Amino acid sequence: MLQPNEPVIRLKAQQSPSPEQVQAACDSPVLAQLLLQRGLANVDDIHRFLQLDDYTPTGIEALPDWPKSLERLARAIDTQEPILIFGDFDVDGITGTTILYQCLKLQLGANVTYYIPHRHTEGHGLNTAALLKLVSSRQLKLVISTDTGITNYDEVHLLNSFGVDCIITDHHDLPESLPPALGILNPKLLDGEHPLYPLSGAGVAYKVCQALLAHYGKAELADELLDLAAIGTVVDMVPLVADNRHLVWQGLKRLGKNRRLGLKALLESAGTDMDAPITTTTLGFVIGPRLNAVGRISHASEAVELLITDSFEVAQTAAARLEQMNRQRKTMVEEAVVQATAHLTASGDLSVHKAAVVCSPAWNNGIVGLVASDLVGRFNRPAFVGTVEPEEGVIKFSARSIDGFDLHAALAPLADMFLRWGGHAGAAGFSIKQTDLAKVKEALFAVCDAKISPAQMRPVFYADMALCPDQINEGFLALQDMLEPTGMDNPSPVFVMSDVALSAARRMGSDEKHLQITVQGAQSGRYLKGVYWNWGADTPLPASSSSTPMAAMAFSVQRNTFNGKTTPQLMLKHLSANQSALPDTVPLPDIPLPAVPLPDVSASTKAAPLTRPSAPVGQVEPMAPMAPMAPAEPSDSVVTWIDHRQHPHSDGLFSQMMQACQAPSPPSRWAIYCQGSQHYLPFATLADWVWPGTDALAEAGWPEALPLELILWDLPPGPAQWQAVLAYARQAIEGSEGMPLTVHLVGGKYRHIPLVRPATTYLDGLWRLLMRCRSTRPNQPVPLGYLTHALATTPDVVWGGLACLERLDPLAGVLQVITETADVDDVGEAGEAGGAEAIRIVLP
């Protein structure tokens, strides 16, 4: 029986980059290796890849038909001739249609309408019946297509016979005979190495509008279309190289600054963190499915209306409807997959054939492609899923393939059996007569059985390199960001890890079909969390054990932001606790990775030796920023200052702290200054000897053992605290027997902002804390020490902030602060005993 096999994990060839390549890759050997694996060996190519600001995009003028297309478009705009935009119903077509409509109608004032065919009743491409109706009712003079039309020879000929000009903008493969259009703007007319060749339909539409707006002296308005071009490019899964990658990069920047109302409403209805950055993952897995759902369940024109509306109420209503349709789409797919799996199992086809062929009149034509994709993942073979339309006597199939099997090439010899067909290597669609099902099914089995080897039915994960838990930190995420935007032909890196133990596993999601795990490094003991989407509600949970190492784990790394805190999260692609299940896995070499391989954007220079503070007590002079380093070697310097606040590299220090805290004995003497107890919670589970006595404002709280490494986890908030720190530092220098003192400026959760925080930051934090106290401790006094420790500041600053808040006009009469003595039970996090000064918040 041809059962699906366990995946194979293969490590890509580990190339050794040259010094020139490393230098071009921001002095990072790891980044240079990742770029080599993406075919970027030339130093100039590496620079162009990493420095997208310096990239020079190519215009639509590279296409030979652009001059006459521009002349015809300009004439139609200037004379108010009726123009029709004819789009496709997928996301690429939806965004392409919106781009053209926004440019022609809203930016240039043309007399234009748009039309998108119905997926179920009209299908892809220019539709004869619709065109005849539109030509008659709207007296059309010009039709411009987007993401469609390149194969519609007859339909374009029909338009010509009515005196209607046609401009085809498309990106699909060229047919043997091109349609007789006035202009054909398709990058497939160019050489395969041309930077425009991989454009999506939305990308072509954007390039057309960019040149058109420049013609009218409105080039700056093209930026308003970048978000749509990025969405269409990512969701249509075209290669993210050359102009495509630059276009998506620009679009993501646009989405970070100015989000159109429709997209804001769509993201809110999806429950997205509105403060989180928009990435290609957001486009592909949040925005894309919802825009696609409306074309599958209803009509794609609803998505266009969402994207062009300037009414917040309309946007909210439309977004809520798209969210509902997306949920409906998920349910329909899940039900169809269950039915298809049951049918395939009962038929016995999977036992003898290398393809899955199944159809039903109960399935919506808009979801069969998604069902086919699911079946490919389940059974590791091409899937052909059809919906039966008995009234027409037709079955419409959607097909998805496995790696190494070209669907388009396999179906080409069977073209005479199809009523209509098209596609590419990975996906295709065709329709047949219902009476031909048996012979078409046998033909599909025959071609797949003949061309697919058993090895092709075993999925392979190609990993970029092996990692250990200690190497996955904030610095590594920043390095990985340099590959963005990622997507087709520029995928997010895939890594492998084997020296870990599975310490916890649980199901997640409303239907419990997803898996969340926690793994622990066998050597370091560091914990990492991971998510395995679609693990399966019926799939047994993997056995967790703190002592049994996992045999293999393939994953990518993403940021996970929750409650304002961002941490690395493993996105699992394969998980195995049984080494025998992976006999073909390539042994994983020990690939050294620097803990923080990112370049330092500023000069790494030591500050001058410091014997006493040159600034008045309580003030700090600006210091030369330095990259994190290992504990200082003996030198002539008395004090080395390392400022971590302006760098994304601080995890290098934190990694050293984690390792040192877990060692059987301290490698050096450390002291950590924490203004508030909550700020060292990330290290609360580590050995107590690292920072005895640092949980207090009082000078007496400092460790008796003088340190060689002084870490200012929080920056002292006032003169008294700085005086205590500097006095302690002088004491440490005097007792160091010639060894230098290294002082790390971290600044706790504020380490990425300047030393002197704006007053508004304190006021905002104080107000939020007061409101939280009001909700959790209604009409109860709040110890002053709780506020000082929670905000890492002094009582004077808290009282000053309270006075400011009471005087702010918007808060007049709302906030009243009453000083009183706290009871013994009202103890804050600072640990004050009864009788401490406290406040009561009164909100009339």
DSSP 725-752: HHHHHHHHHHTSTTPPEEEEE--GGGTT
Confidence of residue 3 (pLDDT cuts 50, 70, 90): very low
Highest mean pLDDT out of 392-401, 463-472, 633-642? 392-401
826 — pLDDT class (breaks 50, 70, 90): very low
The Cβ of residue 270 has, within 10 Å, a number of other Cβ atoms equal to 17
- Output the pTM of the full model: 0.68
- Distance, in Å, from the CA atom of 79 to the CA atom of 143, rounded to the nearest integer, reads 15
Q: Where in the chain is the domain with CATH 3.10.310.30?
A: 348-460
Segments of the chain assigned to CATH 1.10.10 = 759-842
pLDDT of 683 higher than 80 = no
Query: Which of 741, 735, 757 shows the shortest CA–CA distance to 641?
Result: 741
Cβ atoms of residues 539 and 572 within 8 Å: no
Lowest mean pLDDT among 161-175, 591-605, 711-725: 591-605
DSSP reduced 3-state for 654: helix
Q: How far apart are CA 371 and CA 393, in angstroms?
A: 22
Q: How far apart are the C-alpha atoms of 591 and 822, rounded to whole Å?
A: 58
Which is higher by pLDDT, 547 or 636? 547
CATH topology of domain 63-228: inorganic pyrophosphatase (n-terminal core) (3.90.1640)
Q: Find all residues with CB under 8 Å of 628, minimum gap 6, and list them.
A: 596, 642, 644, 647, 649, 650, 652, 653, 744
Q: Which of 80, 99, 67 is nearest to 167 (CA)?
A: 67
CB 680 within 8 A of CB 672: yes
pLDDT band, residue 603 (cuts 50/70/90): very low
Region 714-738: mean pLDDT is 66
Angle among Cα 434, 435, 439 to the nearest 5 degrees reads 105
- Tell me what the pLDDT averaged over the chain comes to: 78
Structure tokens at 569: 């999260």
Instruction: Using the predicted structure, report yes or no on whether residue 8 has a pLDDT greater than 50.
Output: yes
3-state secondary structure of 400: strand
How far apart are the C-alpha atoms of 279 and 268, rounded to whole Å? Answer: 16
Q: Which of 136-150, 274-288, 384-398, 700-714 has the lowest mean pLDDT?
A: 700-714
Cβ neighbours around 448 below 10 Å, total: 22
Candidates 3.30.1330, 1.10.10, 2.60.40, 3.40.50; CATH matching 759-842: 1.10.10
pLDDT tens-place string over residues 329-376: 999 999 999 999 999 999 999 999 999 999 999 999 889 999 999 999
| CATH placement of domain 348-460 | 3.10.310.30
Q: Name the β-bridge partners of 387.
A: 360, 396
